[in-house]
Each structure stands twice: as structure tokens, then as C-alpha cells.
Amino acid sequence: MIPLSKPILSGAEKAAVLRVLESGMLAQGSEVAAFEEEFSNTVSNHHCVAVNSGTSALHLGLLAAGIQRGDEVIVPSFTFAATANAVSLCGAIPVFVDIDLDTFTLNVEATSDAITERTAGIMPVHLYGHPAKMDALSELANRHGLLLFEDAAQAHLAKYQGAPVGTFGISAFSFYPTKNMTSGEGGMIVTSSDEVARKARLLRNQGMEKQYQNEIVGFNNRMTDLHASIGRVQLALLAERTERRREIARLYDAQLQKVITPYVSTDVFHAYHQYTIRTENRDSLAAHLSKNEVGHGVYYPTPVHELPSFGLPLELPETTRAAKEVLSIPVNPSLSDEEVETVIEVVNSWP
Ligand SMILES: Cc1ncc(COP(=O)(O)O)c(C=O)c1O
């Protein structure tokens, strides 16, 4: 089977973990600090606060930015549930709006229409590694005095109009094993605000900056040095691996037939966390890929507002259509040229 996604781990991660084990310092320490500093170089030197997952980065980032009980935060429904879960975990209300079917990201007009007196934030998701329309969303957030919070879990190194995603507002990245880089589990809060960064650091560590002098009520959402040491190795290889993703995407763009290949706005640098095609006969294509041992996945089959955890009777037509038509095919940088050719041949031989 040609794998849909696969973390690429080498001797370097093993050596890094062993170095930490041998140091005897396993919890948050110097490796985490170095990882934060190195990640900061990829996001215009903004503050970086490492935590134990992308979900924690969303949750603590929102809390640090001041989101509180009863606030409304506008989110897409076509995303992983963690986006909306983080809002709910703050006691706030996720307000689900529709996407643009071409980029699978927040529709700006629908976002504008959803703003009420209780709206406190807008939370675009750079789904599959394609940035949301950050110029229009930034303008909207500024005009209404709202928090702009980027869910950049899938978009390491992606850019919008030349600027790295994660630097338009406060943002959260994920380092889950299937992401473009991993730390095992992990996440990063990114912000240009000293105050938000300090609050996020307090929240991840029981509300303490100095030991046993807890300033606020906080969590234990720290990243360990073991995880950070893996993240550092992966980060050093991220640019090269992103280029390989983009190279595979260009081959697919040029050669795939019978399916709608991903639209890429001229404003963006796409990080291709997923290469996601669309077809009305998605299930037939998925069965054909399975039969020919090509990995594939549907991200996401159920819009978040329809999940039992939210269960809201909303009409979001583009979201519904995307959930029925999308299919992701392998774009991970471990693929050989032969495997890429096989994927193309199998898709094109779909009857
Ligand atoms: C869009 C999106 N948001 C948030 C998350 C949550 O990240 P994590 O799994 O690291 O908690 C993920 C990843 O799974 C994601 O894809």
C-alpha cells in the first residue's frame, strides 16, 4: 500500500531522544526553549510557546488572548473538531460558517454576516496547508475590534501574500505525527504580543512563572524535552520536505485526469499538508484506490456542526458539498518518484 501519510523518522530523532534521556532532564527544559527559538525563526521571530498538543495550543492561545465564557468565535465547520472544541473548552460559543469550495477555507462574506455584538473572535483554518484569505479577514477583524486567531495546525511554512501563516493574528500549530513535521505530540502558540505570550506560558504551567508562586489558575500542558528534541530535528528538515510535497503536487496538477485538482490562489504558498481532490463519485474513486493499494482519506466526512458533539441544524451548502466530494491522496515527502507515478496511473485508470 502506498501510504497516505507517514512520519519520516531517521537516526537523528533517535539520537536526539537518547541525548535527552541520558541528560536525565526529561520535562520542559532547555530543549523546549531551543525548539521555541528555532520555530520562531519560521514565523518572523514572533513569540513561540510550546505545549503538549495542537489542541492545547488552540485552547491556551484563546484563553491567553482573553476569550471567555459566552463569547462567540466564528469558525469554519469544515475542519477537524479540535478547532471548535478549543472554543467550547473556553466556555465560548463556536459560530459555524460556510467555506469557499475552491480553497476549503472561511468564506469572508459569511464570516462578516455572522458577526454579532457577542462576537469576540474569528478563527480561520488554513486547511490542508492552503491559507485562508488573511487580508480580508484581518481587515474584518480590525474593523470590528475582534481577535484573529489562526488555526495553522496543517500549515507549517505556508504563506499568504509572502507573509508566514501564524503571523497575522495569534496562532496555533500542531506537531501530531501525520502533520508536515512532528514532535510525537505537541503544539505551538505563536504571538507578537508579550502579554499573550506570558499568559500562555503561565497557563501551560499551573499559572507559575516562578516555582510555587502561582499567579493564576492554570493547566499542566507543558511539552517535554523528549518531544522538543524530536521537533527540532524535524524542523530542520521541514523546508526541504515541504518542497518535495510541492513538487509532487505539481506532478499531480499536471497529470491527474477526471478529478478536480486543488485550486491554489496566486496569493499563497501552499504547504500541501494534504493534496485533496474533489469528485462527485468520491466513494467509487476511493474503492478503486483501495483495490490498487493507494492510500487515501476523507478529511472530513462530517461537518463539525453535524457531529453529535455539536448537533446544530445549520445550512452550510459548500461545507456539505466538500464533505461529500473531497478525497486526499498521498503527497507525503517519503514517496518515491515511482510511487507518485503509480498514484497518477491509478487515479487516471479509474473507470
Ligand atoms: C485543523 C486542525 N486543528 C487542530 C488540530 C489539533 O491538533 P492536535 O492533534 O495536535 O491536538 C488538528 C490536528 O489534528 C487539525 O488538523
Per-residue pLDDT reduced to its tens digit, 116-172: 999 999 999 999 999 999 999 999 999 999 999 999 999 999 999 999 999 999 999
Write the pLDDT tens digit of every residue in 292-347.
999 999 999 999 999 999 999 999 999 999 999 999 999 999 999 999 999 999 99
Residue 111 burial (10 A CB sphere; 0-12, 13-18, 19+): buried
* Closest Cα to atom 8 of ligand 1: 54
User: If you measure from the C-alpha of residue 182 to the centroid of ligand 1, how many angstroms do you get, rounded to a whole number?
Assistant: 12
Write the pLDDT tens digit of every residue in 215-229.
999 999 999 999 999
- Whole-number CA gyration radius for the chain: 20
Q: Which atom of ligand 1 is nearest to the CA of 82?
A: 4
Domain boundaries, the chain: 11-232, 239-348
User: If you measure from the C-alpha of residue 343 to the centroid of ligand 1, how many angstroms do you get, rounded to a whole number?
Assistant: 26
User: If you measure from the C-alpha of residue 21 to the centroid of ligand 1, how many angstroms do you get, rounded to a whole number?
Assistant: 27
All cell numbers assigned to 291: 483495490
User: If you measure from the C-alpha of residue 124 to the centroid of ligand 1, how many angstroms do you get, rounded to a whole number?
Assistant: 13
DSSP state, 132? Answer: P
Q: What is the CATH number of domain 239-348?
A: 3.90.1150.10
Q: Is the N-terminal amide bond of 300 cis, ω within 30° of 0?
A: yes
Give the mean pLDDT of 190-209.
98
Contact 121, 58 (CB under 8 A): no
Predicted confidence at residue 273, as pLDDT, reads 98
Write the pLDDT tens digit of every residue in 56-85.
999 999 999 999 999 999 999 999 999 999
Pocket of ligand 1 (CB under 6 A): 53-55, 79-80, 82-83, 125, 151, 153-154, 174, 176, 187
Q: Give how far Cα 11 sits from Cα of 8, 14, 85, 254, 342, Å.
A: 10, 5, 36, 35, 29
For residues 117 and 325, what is the distance between their CA atoms, to the nearest angstrom? 35
For residues 288 and 350, what is the distance between their CA atoms, to the nearest angstrom? 6
Longest dimension (CA), the chain: 67
Pick the CATH number of 11-232 from 3.40.50.620, 3.90.650.10, 3.40.640.10, 3.50.50.60: 3.40.640.10
Closest CA to 75 of 322, 301, 315, 304: 304
Write the pLDDT tens digit of every residue in 267-288.
999 999 999 999 999 999 999 9
Asked whether the whole model's pTM tops 0.75, one would answer yes
Write the pLDDT tens digit of every residue in 35-60.
999 999 999 999 999 999 999 999 99
For residues 116 and 135, what is the distance between their CA atoms, to the nearest angstrom? 21
